[in-house]
Amino acid sequence: MDSTCFNTAQRHSCQMMNPDLFKPPADLRQAGQPSKPNRSKTEQIRPELAQLVVDTKTGRSYSKGKLLGKGGFARCYEMTDLANNKMYAVKVIPQSRVSKPHQRDKITNEIELHKTLQHKHVVKFSHHFEDQDNIYIFLELCSRKSLAHIWKARHTLTDPEVRYYLRQIISGLKYLHSKGILHRDLKLGNFFVNENMELRLGDFGLAAKLETVEQRKKTICGTPNYLAPEVLNRQGHGTESDVWSLGCVMYTLLCGNPPFETLDLKETYKCIKEVRYSLPPSLSPAAQKLISAVLQKNPSDRLTLDQILAHEYFSKGFTPDKLPPSACVMVPELNPPSPAKKFFTKMAKSLFGKKKSKVEKNPTEEKEDISKLVSGMMKHSISRQISYKTVGVNETTSPAGQLASSGPLDTPAEEESRKSVSRSFKGTVASSTEVCEDALTPAAVAEAAMNALNSCLSTMPAASKNPPCLVKPKPFVWVTKWVDYSNKYGFGYQLSNQNVGVLFNEGTHLSLCDQRRTVHYCLTNNKHFTFQANALPEQLQNQKHIVELMANYMEQNLMEGGDLGCDERPSPGACPLLLQWMKTDHALVMLFNNGSLQVNFYTDHTKVILSKLSDSYVLTYISRERLSSSYPLSVLGERGSSPELRHRLRYVTQLLQHYASA
């Protein structure tokens, strides 16, 4: 046992490792694990990492953010490069932990190995440096943490989700094996998930070069529940050992616990060596067959990675192209794609999915391409979340996941229920009521924005870059975070002044404002009510609770969409209401009752915000680097913009045109 590598005092963590996950109910030391060595006081009390870290060789400065994870060997922090606001996950290893040559060699080997890896499903290595206190390893930041965090919140996942994650793990693993690298520590905590719900394989602290059977390392290293029989029997590591761990991962995600987990570590090892585990009847037959074919005692009897992908579990089962962020904490609603969906995906790749051509298309060709794409989307009703054209008296709104172009009128029962709610508020607990008979409709907001953009684009001269932006744009409210839970409740969003709102599926809207002290509620007939949060009617408590749940989820799991660089913060009292939201495969469009419009592009996280100020518009563009620039729309029309921004403005305009004519 003295050569095991899973003792937390001997292991270092990568990115957001959670050391408490997979720990058996009984402490492992009671089952024979060696106790942690006594440490000196200097080792036990680590000095606090400075708020500002400077690379003396390059002169670059990094601001320390929140702690992402920690282990016995290292800590991982979120850090921001102050030169460009780029964010990283930074593994910080104290120099005191690598004072011995073999410890230093281990870190050096990890760095040198990780530097050579370039793959979509492997955590990106950026750079590293050290000072007298620490070694700093800068890695790709995966904002949705790891599969271990998702597993902890969900306990079990559905078959389509497991297929989705396994495909990406296998893709990354095939890449490693093709380069002669064994990971040797595959577990949920080492599969990181980025903002787009894409998986990245990380933590190469135990990775090693593939060797012949005679040369294979006989060290027992990895996580106890995921160790292969040949590793425990000191027969060495091969690619088959990683495949075994993959089978354990699949079992854990589907069943809620690792296959060989027991209360006693020795018993766990015995179960692994004897391949003694049970398959719950709740598993699909295909899943049971695949797990059985992977968890074979003899390494040569196990399926290869290619054979796993060819198995009926994958070939006959639906795998989603992507998962919604809500899948981190709840079961997502997943539907197999229709032929129309496949058509639109193919069309969309022609616009967003390829590298930029060195020869830029002329505006006419570009406009025709975008028009074909958007009209194809509207024609085939792809990803349409438009459920009404206007909001009027006695007209319901249901913007969640419906393909109907317009919502039906209230049924008599719904109408009476709505009137009853309205009567119960009137003249009692509501501090103010207002009927906005001349309120803007989604169609009016879309049409006004479309006309303004068309006017701008029609006069816009060719330019290679954007004009100088406003030095200090006036503060305005925009959406910094959002979550689509329309399969059950509605669409939630957080504004830049920290107010949070949800547009519910039945068309009502509830917002928590002024640091959640005030509640704004809007009925489908545009009648608004304002309450103090501590005096909210009983009828609205459930909706308020849902808004709070979404707010907490966004606070804990989502990063803000960029930095506008305004000296002033928008007024906390400003609370524009979301009138409607629409989604394509590449963008989210949000229309607000103050005449503003926001479009978020998924692939590169750029954003276009059109703010209505008096009788004119100000356009704010948030770039891939999360940096913002604001311009009066009239200035862009006179001076031109970069091809990147012009391309997005044309896409938005075409989308609004087809929406207005739908």
Six token digits for residue 467: 């004009």
- The response to whether 91 counts as a known ligand-binding position is yes
Contact 237, 184 (CB under 8 A): yes
Helix (H) or strand (E) holding 127: strand 125-130
Task: Go through the chain and tell me how many residues it has.
Answer: 662
Helix (H, G, I), strand (E, B) or coil at 97: helix
Beta carbons within 8 Å of 461's beta carbon, 6+ residues apart: 638, 639, 640
On whether the CB atoms of residues 550 and 484 are closer than 8 A, the answer is: no
CA distances from 24 to 19, 267, 268, 274 (A): 12, 12, 10, 20
* Look-up of token digits 């990106």: 124
| Other Cβ atoms closer than 10 A to 209 | 12
Among 220, 145, 137, which Cα is nearest to 184's? Answer: 220
What φ, ψ does residue 127 adopt, rounded to 5°? -165, 175
Catalytic residue among 2, 20, 105, 185: 185
| 483 within 8 A of 550, measured Cβ to Cβ | yes
CA nearest 525: which of 444, 661, 414, 445?
414
Residue type at position 279: L
- b/e per residue, 541-575, with b = 16+ CB within 10 A? eebbebbebbbebbeebbbebbebebeeebebeeb
484 is catalytic: no
Q: What sign does the CA torsion over 311, 313, 316, 318 have?
A: negative
* 500: CB partners within 8 A, 6+ apart: 492, 493, 494, 511, 512, 516, 547, 550, 551, 554
CA-based nearest residue to 239, from 175, 147, 315: 175
Q: For residues 186 and 208, give the distance between their C-alpha atoms in angstroms, rounded to a whole number.
A: 13
Annotated binding site: 91
Annotated binding site for ATP: 91
Active site residues: 185
